[in-house]
Amino acid sequence: MSNSNIVDLNARRPQAEGSEAALRVFGGLRDLAATQLKAAITRAFTEIDDVLFEMSEKASDGNLKQQYFDDLRSLRRTRDGAAERFDAALRGAFTLYVHGRPLVRTSAPTDLSEDQLSLVDEGELELSLALSRIAARCDEDVARPRLELTKRLQHLFRRAETDNLTPLSGVVIADAVKTVVTTLPIGVESRLVLLKRIERHLSDGNNDAIQDGNKLLFESGVLPELKLTYSRRAGEAARPASEAPAAPAPVANTPQIDLGALASEITRLLTATRPRQAASDSQAPELDAASADKRLSQLRDPGTLDSNQFAQAVRNLLSAGPNGQPGATALAEPVENAIDLVSLMFDFVARDESLPKEVQQALTPLRMPLLRSALRGAQLFDGSEHPLRSLMESAAEIGRSWTPDSDRDGRVLGQIKSAVANAVAESELDPEGMERVQQDLRAFIANEQKRSLLLEKRSAEAAQAQERRLAAQRTSQQTIAEVLERTPVPPVVGTLLNGPLRRHLELIHTRRGEDSKDWKSAKKLVRDIVWSFDPETISVERAHWQAMLPNIVTALRGALASVGMHDNDIDGVVVEFRNRYRDLVATTQQAPGAAPDSFTRIDPEAMPDAPAAQVDAEAELPAAEIIEHAAKTGVTYSDALAMVRNLAVGSWVELLDGKGEAQRAKLIWNSAISQRCLFVNRNGQMIADRSFQNVASDWMLGHIKPIEDGALFERALVAVKRKLVAAQSSRAA
């Protein structure tokens, strides 16, 4: 049947191009996405170089070894052009989208008779499956942001809602990859390995391109009502070791909930729960809020009493007559509610485990100013910048981390008490005076944090440096052991690899990291040296390795110089290196594949010991008595370990030190590699360096407790409401 009369209903219908502004925005999106995806595929081409090199070393089949080596050289010659072709194909898809043309080429179906079978080459099938995986991976990781980008592009060019294909769709990107990979002069095995690398890098690059593209369109005013959705990026999985711990953000005074509405609801609950007075009891004159505020300005705080005693004491003072006779004046409903609300809030403060007892007591004198502010109106709850509220939050912020050991001279606790006393001294609650008190306390906190952050940074950097050094030692020894596993080398080369070159690898790994070009070059130097002394390789590719020898010697000189070797010693090593290589060439000319008698296989036992790998906390269970104790509270070891792993840097906890005394500590660093946590006190001094297993065990025993860091005012009001609701429910029952 002829296909000439078949119309594809899903085909893209030509539409008018967008406006000049739309094309300008779309051009920015195109350049941004093409740059990121080209960089991603370039990383894949760079990474495949080392992968094919390793595969050629490990291949037991000589033909396959040669194939990998030939593919490696072919990719080195063609990878730049391949990246450019991918970039051109992707940019072409953006152009097709503007003109409303199909983004993916579809091949016409082939007419087959009933007795014919269509056979697909196995290599082509694997290639097709690999491209399908690329398309699926590019789409599945960013489903929500991709939908937002599609809707924005539909809106920008007035496309139908069914037109869901964009230049950043997985099938379009896979089609661009296909145009590149199918033209590369490499074998099927190498092509599939390359596609696997491309899949990983392009999925991450497409994730970034879609999210950054959404941000670009959002900032350009394209469907701003669509909220930006961000998914976790690959680079955000862990903080690089070189990064210093971030400074803790200041406590925000802006409430997470509507505190004014919450205070109104609490007032309603207080009114509903208060018993109504009989008519005979209501003959005394009533004291309103303004009069109560004026009278409180002439009274002193009754002292450190609990909430019920404070409320009763204030009621007695306000209702007393001129001669002190009790009950001479009745309190209006707003006055009663304000007294109860403030007393209940400070009842929460006095029991708040996030604050030490000394800080709780230091905040108690604020009850009277807070009560007077409540009598003057709801601005205390509605205004997030109310000076009295800000003062309480600032005092709670610095007091949350306070311990006697971290404040031996009493300077911090004294500053809190001084700020509270100054606030109380502002008898008329002058806003400007209260603001000055708040600013002085904030300035003190800022200076304290500045000093402590410097010590925190040094402690974290020291731990990170130690971890990098141990990781470099393990990785460097593993690299050398792998290349020496099957290849015999002369003792001078073995000494060279296990000595200066191993130190060179450790140095590069520590300073640059495993993803750097310098590290890959250092690994390649080790592989080239060992491979150049492989008798079988020299027998087959003598001319190639003799041509590479000057480059190897130059790189070797640079590596030896980097570890501080003297020039005369370097010359001696190079001379010995050339002599041994000359012996190998002479032997292989006489007997291909044979090694000189001086060549020996390195015994793994003779290699320097690398630092032991860290113990996996998952595999190490705590003592049986700890598990039995935690079972009573329903906490398992896996739960505790998950809590430790998810504990955010900057979190405050209360833990027991070596003397069994409670200390407040801040987590400044935790590592999934070494599985250790570092804790410091409020001065930035390190007080605990513990393993995940140790922290999880203490968590199960209750020796480590998280300290809540939410806004004090908000938590107090929420606790008051919860208490009143529970009391109302119990009375109803």
**What are the tens digits of pLDDT across the range 47-88?**
887 787 777 777 777 777 778 778 887 888 888 888 889 998
Q: What per-residue confidence (pLDDT) applies to 603? A: 64
- pTM for this predicted structure: 0.52
The pLDDT value recorded for residue 727 is: 82
Phi, psi for residue 229 in degrees, rounded to 5: -110, 130
**Cα torsion 22, 27, 28, 32: sign:** positive
Q: Please compute the mean of the pLDDT values over residues 419-442 and round it to a whole number.
A: 76
Query: pLDDT band for position 616 (50/70/90)?
Result: low
Q: Which of 48-57, 465-474, 602-611 has the highest mean pLDDT?
A: 465-474
Contact 26, 98 (CB under 8 A): yes
List, in order of start, the domains of the chain with CATH numbers. 20-105+120-230 (no CATH), 259-429 (no CATH), 461-606 (no CATH), 615-707 (2.30.30.140)
Cβ neighbors of 38 (< 8 A, separation 6 or more) are 83, 86, 87, 90
Element (H or E) spanning 455, and its range?
A: helix 431-483
**445 with 397: CB under 8 angstroms?**
yes
509 or 142, higher pLDDT: 509
d(C-alpha 570, C-alpha 259), whole Å: 74
Give the range among 239-253, 315-329, 482-496, 653-667 with minimum mean pLDDT: 239-253
pLDDT higher at 118 or 79: 79
345-357: pLDDT as tens digits = 888 888 888 888 8
Q: For the CA atoms of the chain, what is the radius of gyration?
A: 37
pLDDT of residue 427: 53
Please, what is the average pLDDT of the chain? 78
C-alpha closest to that of 267 among 342, 368, 371, 338: 338
Which amino acid type is present at position 674?
A: S
Amino acid type, 47: E
Hey, what amino acid is at 265?
E
Which one is predicted more confidently, 506 or 142? 506
Residue whose token pair is 């705080």: 301
AA letter at 307:
S
* C-alpha dihedral sign at 568, 569, 570, 571: positive
DSSP state, residue 247: P
Count Cα neighbours of 115 within 13 Å in the Cβ-side half-sphere. 0
* Strongest mean pLDDT among 67-71, 157-161, 433-437, 580-584: 580-584
The answer to whether residues 339 and 313 touch, using CB atoms and an 8 Å cutoff, is: no
pLDDT tens, residue by residue, 191-223: 888 888 888 888 888 888 888 888 888 888 787
Owner of token pair 């001279």: 409
Distance CA 562, CA 644 (A): 40
